Amino acid sequence: MSTRTDEILTNDSHLIQSFANLDGLKQTNARTAIVSAKGGYVTDSEGNELIDGIGGLWCVNVGHRRKEIIDAITKQLNTLDYYSTFYNFTHPMAAKLSKKIADLAPGNLNRVHFGNSGSVANDSAVRMLHHYYNRLGKPHKKKIISRVGAYHGSTHLAMAMTTPAYSDGWDVTENLVHHLQSPYSYREAGDMNDEEFLNHLANNMIDKINELGPENIAAFIAEPIMGAGGIIVPPEGYHQKMREITDEYEIMYIADEVVTAFGRLGHMFASQDKYNMTPDIICTAKGLTSGYQPLSATIISDEIYDVISEPGAMFLHGMTYSGHPAASAAALANIDILEKEEIPKKVRKTGKLFENLLKGLTDLEIVGEVRGSHFMMGIEFVKNKETKETYSDDLAVGLKIASECQKRGLIARPLGNILILSPTLILNEGEIYRIEGILRESIIETTKKLKSMI
Ligand SMILES: Cc1ncc(COP(=O)(O)O)c(C=O)c1O
């Protein structure tokens, strides 16, 4: 280990890593310190250059260290370092960005509230809806329907909307959020075909609505494709069906597009352009600035805005950094790159190649399913393809394969028996083939090791 790594790791003992086994980290130095980045690559403190197969954390959409974004941030800080969007204050960058987002968002989603993380964007959506229903004289219409497998963030409310498994040993608000079955065809559909599974999920939603009473339900929240839950792609027509049901029972639809917006699936927003469905609220973050600055947006419909901005209404919600000038400048420069370089359009080609090549890995002995879309993919490993029997957790198969990938120059994210890939959106064909090659070799090598262990 180099002295540089040693120094970083010594300081690191004060850092609380997120979603980490803290005791495990105390016992081992098995950490990767990323010290620099450029384009689709990062460099660790040992000097290894690695393909950033997870785009930072599904966020570095336009690639690392783009000069245009860095210059826009610097210019903004040299002009107006900070001012708030509280009370009657505004500033040019937050104003311009809200207009830009309203132009890009589908339907009548024309009003934007800024936050600084995806979790806050989702919390804000719920707080705004609760206030909306209070103003409409429907104070009981508060419950939220979410799904098993969902990830909506780590603030108290966002975690309550996340899959219950993530709260093991932690507390969440009770009775506010109710979870539906996950649309995880590979493991939940049994003998049902796609259409039957879709009907089954729709009935599950209707049963839940009837059980809770539509008069008590504020919203249904869903990611277009579940990310941290293991890249779960719902059956064809799912989002439209859920929209029909929410419309019928007068329940709002919150689309959590924290990951899926700004190009990852080949469109600025996936809800309308990919799934032909307009929600009432879209929450987004990550690709909004490509991670260069922390910024999120809760984009609400005119209908909701009209009620919360009626005479006498006070909007008692906001964060000091809502619409921070430097973060807004970063987002504008980032969106400019996405548009000028037609990145979403290119992703429809390169992302499709990525998807198809990775789907080809199903020929390997331990690959049970490869799923996802474009630059949002997951590979699930199984002990037995026929029975879909999983490896036991202590074998840490995903982690083993991720380590093999890293040795070969690729960062991938393990999640139990699943490996997640969500790279930058600027990869060329050669790099895409290289990722597939590294994955293939790493899976084959791990399969051999697993066999020698069993
Ligand atoms: C779909 C989704 N929603 C919300 C969040 C939370 O975003 P943040 O970590 O910025 O709070 C995430 C983070 O990964 C996410 O994937």
Whether the CB-CB separation of 259 and 286 falls below 8 Å is answered with yes
Tell me, using a 6 A CB cutoff, whether residue 280 lines ligand 1: no
Please check whether residue 336 lies inside any domain of the structure: yes
Whether the CB-CB separation of 174 and 144 falls below 8 Å is answered with no
Distance CA 315, CA 312 (A): 10
Query: For position 1, what pLDDT does the model report?
Result: 83
Please check whether residue 206 lies inside any domain of the structure: yes
Tell me, using a 6 A CB cutoff, whether residue 404 lines ligand 1: no
* 376 and 260 in a common domain: no
* Of 19, 258, 282, best ligand 1 pocket probe by most atoms within 8 Å of the beta carbon: 258
Tell me, using a 6 A CB cutoff, whether residue 147 lines ligand 1: no
* 375 and 268 in a common domain: no
238 C-alpha vs ligand 1 centroid, how far in Å?
22
Q: Which atom of ligand 1 is nearest to the CA of 57?
A: 14
How many other C-beta atoms lie within 10 A of the C-beta of residue 211? 9
311 C-alpha vs ligand 1 centroid, how far in Å?
34
For residue 281 the two structure tokens come to 């609220």
Query: For position 28, what pLDDT does the model report?
Result: 78
Please check whether residue 3 lies inside any domain of the structure: no
Q: Give the CA dihedral 8, 11, 14, 16, nearest 10 degrees.
A: -10
* Of 18, 152, 264, 420, best ligand 1 pocket probe by most atoms within 8 Å of the beta carbon: 152
Tell me, using a 6 A CB cutoff, whether residue 151 lines ligand 1: yes
Residue entry with tokens 């409409």? 136
Q: Which atom of ligand 1 is nearest to the CA of 227?
A: 16
Query: For position 412, what pLDDT does the model report?
Result: 98
Q: What residue owns the CA closest to ligand 1's atom 8?
A: 118
Tell me, using a 6 A CB cutoff, whether residue 153 lines ligand 1: yes
Domain boundary among 320, 340, 360: 340
Whether the CB-CB separation of 230 and 262 falls below 8 Å is answered with no
Tell me, using a 6 A CB cutoff, whether residue 53 lines ligand 1: no
For residue 351 the two structure tokens come to 């992302």
Distance CA 221, CA 132 (A): 16
121 C-alpha vs ligand 1 centroid, how far in Å?
9
* 401 and 334 in a common domain: no
Average pLDDT, consecutive stretches of 10 residues, N- to C-terminus, the chain (454 residues)? 89 93 84 96 97 98 98 98 97 98 98 98 98 98 98 98 95 96 98 98 98 98 98 98 98 98 98 98 98 98 98 96 98 98 98 98 98 98 97 95 98 97 98 98 97 82
* 165 and 151 in a common domain: yes
* Of 116, 284, 286, 288, best ligand 1 pocket probe by most atoms within 8 Å of the beta carbon: 286
Please check whether residue 27 lies inside any domain of the structure: no
Domain boundary among 310, 340, 370: 340
119 C-alpha vs ligand 1 centroid, how far in Å?
6
CATH of the domain at 419: 3.90.1150.10
Q: Give the CA dihedral 55, 166, 225, 184, nearest 10 degrees.
A: 130
Bridge partner list, 354: none
Query: For position 24, what pLDDT does the model report?
Result: 87
Tell me, using a 6 A CB cutoff, whether residue 228 lines ligand 1: yes
Query: For position 417, what pLDDT does the model report?
Result: 97
CATH of the domain at 180: 3.40.640.10
* 349 and 301 in a common domain: no
Tell me, using a 6 A CB cutoff, whether residue 152 lines ligand 1: yes
* 189 and 89 in a common domain: yes
How many other C-beta atoms lie within 10 A of the C-beta of residue 89? 10
In sequence order, the 6+-apart residues with CB closer than 8 A to the CB of 366 are 381, 382, 383, 385, 397, 443, 446, 447, 450
* 348 and 290 in a common domain: no
Tell me, using a 6 A CB cutoff, whether residue 118 lines ligand 1: yes
225 C-alpha vs ligand 1 centroid, how far in Å?
13
26 C-alpha vs ligand 1 centroid, how far in Å?
26
Please check whether residue 444 lies inside any domain of the structure: yes
Region for residue 402 given its phi and psi (left: phi exceeds 0; alpha: psi -120 to 50; beta: otherwise): alpha
Q: Which atom of ligand 1 is nearest to the CA of 118?
A: 7
Query: For position 30, what pLDDT does the model report?
Result: 80
Q: What is the pLDDT of residues 372-429, one digit of tens each?
A: 999 999 999 999 999 999 999 999 999 999 999 999 999 999 999 999 999 999 999 9
Region for residue 377 given its phi and psi (left: phi exceeds 0; alpha: psi -120 to 50; beta: otherwise): beta
Q: Does an H or E element contain 218, and which?
A: strand 217-222
147 three-class SS: strand
369 three-class SS: strand
Query: For position 454, what pLDDT does the model report?
Result: 64
Domain boundary among 296, 324, 340: 340
Please check whether residue 298 lies inside any domain of the structure: yes
Please check whether residue 5 lies inside any domain of the structure: no
* 211 and 167 in a common domain: yes
* 285 and 172 in a common domain: yes
247 C-alpha vs ligand 1 centroid, how far in Å?
26
pTM of the model: 0.98
* 211 and 188 in a common domain: yes
Query: For position 29, what pLDDT does the model report?
Result: 74
In sequence order, the 6+-apart residues with CB closer than 8 A to the CB of 387 are none
Count of domains forming the chain? 2
* 276 and 325 in a common domain: yes
* 126 and 275 in a common domain: yes
- Sign of the C-alpha dihedral, residues 107, 108, 112, 115? negative
* Segments forming the whole domain that contains residue 46: 32-62+342-453
Distance CA 411, CA 55 (A): 9
Distance CA 114, CA 85 (A): 9
Please check whether residue 210 lies inside any domain of the structure: yes
Distance CA 102, CA 106 (A): 8
- Give the CA angle between residues 280, 166, 35 to the nearest 5°: 90
Distance CA 116, CA 128 (A): 16
* Of 114, 221, 259, 413, best ligand 1 pocket probe by most atoms within 8 Å of the beta carbon: 259
